[in-house]
Amino acid sequence: MQQSSFFKSFLILFLAAILFVVAKPYLPKKLFPEQQATANQVVDSTVIEAISEAEATDELNYAEADSMGNQPIVYVDESGIQFPSETAQSYTGNQHLISFYEKLRLLESNPNQSVRIAYFGDSMTDGDLIVQDLRSAFQSQFGGTGVGFVPLVSESAGSRSSVKHSFGGSWKDQNFVTSKYSRYAFGINGHVFYPTDSLAWVRYEAGRQANVASLPNPTLFYGTSRKNGRLKVTYGKDSLWYKLDGNLALNTLRIGKSDLKKFRADFIEADSIPIYGFNFDNGKGVHIDNFSQRGNSGMPLSKLNPQLLNQFQKKLGYDLIILHYGTNVLNYGTKNYNWYQRGMQKAIANLRAGFPGVPILLISAADKATKYDMEMRTDSAVVPLTLAQRKLAVETRSGFINLFELMGGNGSMVRWVDEAPALANKDYTHFNFRGAKKVASLFYQKLQSGFITYKRLKSKVATEAVLPENDSIPDEEM
């Protein structure tokens, strides 16, 4: 009986194996294709529109070749500084980050100076991942305390450790990813919030990391309104009341003490006031604001109002803008990203109108693995997308970090997932907290490398500007 059962089991397995070999040529290459967004996922409306336009011209069916190849990129001297020429393949665009590096140099010699970075991203930076570690690295070297700008309501509030953030009551959230238009302009973080009843509140508590262990200079940012509201701020046993007077396009209100550990803010009769968020910083050193949004392709940045961004810039003073996108444009069945380049060119032009003279650094998509023939491998769309992002950086005169190559290139996401302990999640798309910390370290090293080169070039220019004593007076004047 045992021999008969064993033989039957063996025969079934043998026939199944033969059937698989025969049927394999007719099976799809992707046995488990990527799912499109469901009702529980955020859908970027600008991507849907751009994809539809590209489909109408049949553009998506033609793969875009790497038109840049390995062409040389030679920089033009700016204020005596000229970074070494590069090839397109090794492009960093550090020449375009000179003003940022100069601000870092000034801060290094004067700790009372300040440098501020706006980090725009998607779900890769959700919960302050990557950004919190980059912020910590900068603040540890250059000084600065505070977590920066934090929204009123956040889908990732519960998973964020750099600041403890909770909220309640009834809030209406309009954002530039899911909404085409807003009653009032979207804030710098792409959101505008309205407390729709008198029970709406938010609570913030400082994180435990060294440089964010307090909430320095808590300041509320809100928009214009014909009707005033009130704000009740509670910290400890004390409560203070404030008037929310929305006379300007962008208003600020400094609340409480200068260095709180935690507080609660209740919004009373403020349902007509557009509210953007709170900022926490001590006014010196380095500060990095995390403007992450799940589902964001980056193209919705073109919806931000440049005039309102001008007002944010006057109050916060950014020295670098980082754009870290790509995860949400990989699943549309194409390897032609001309449509994405066009959309991001509009977004970058809009940011430059809002933040005149502020340099931009683009970070490419990370590796992403998909199952092909029962094996997890780099998704075939990753390399075409990173090439398109590199081309975008070159054409817009932006800095560039190729995260795909930085983390190891082809097959790297599988290796990061298989590490012990793992550096990425089993979705083969997102980093976990360990991987995010490693990525932040890699970014910091790249920026430090550019900064060190800048200081060397700056020193060389200063040395060459000093004439020898014998040549200090021209012969004609002797």
Contact 232, 239 (CB under 8 A): yes
pLDDT at 9: 65
Separation CA 38–CA 47 (nearest Å): 15
* Structure tokens given for 354: 């809002």
Taken in order 79, 83, 84, 85, the sign of the CA dihedral is negative
Distances (CA, A) of 196 to 88, 150, 185, 234: 51, 20, 18, 20
Separation CA 319–CA 434 (nearest Å): 28
CB atoms within 10 A of CB 448: 14
Taken in order 123, 127, 130, 134, the sign of the CA dihedral is positive
* Tokens 């397109």 found at: 88
Closest of 188, 32, 34 to residue 120, by C-alpha:
188
Closest of 199, 202, 239, 196 to residue 221, by C-alpha:
202
Rounded to the nearest 10 degrees, the angle between the axes of helix 45-56 and helix 338-354 is 130
Low-confidence stretches of the chain (pLDDT < 70) are 1-17, 19-42, 58, 61-65, 67, 69, 466-478
Separation CA 165–CA 146 (nearest Å): 14
* Structure tokens given for 217: 């200079």
Separation CA 446–CA 442 (nearest Å): 6
Contact 116, 149 (CB under 8 A): no
* Tokens 């938010």 found at: 202
Separation CA 98–CA 370 (nearest Å): 39
Separation of CA 467 from chain center = 45
* Structure tokens given for 353: 């109108």
Separation CA 180–CA 48 (nearest Å): 12
Separation of CA 361 from chain center = 10
pLDDT at 101: 98
Q: Indicate the domain borders of the chain.
A: 42-463
Separation CA 131–CA 89 (nearest Å): 26
Q: What's the CATH number for 42-463?
A: 3.40.50.1110
pLDDT at 223: 94
* Tokens 């209406």 found at: 172
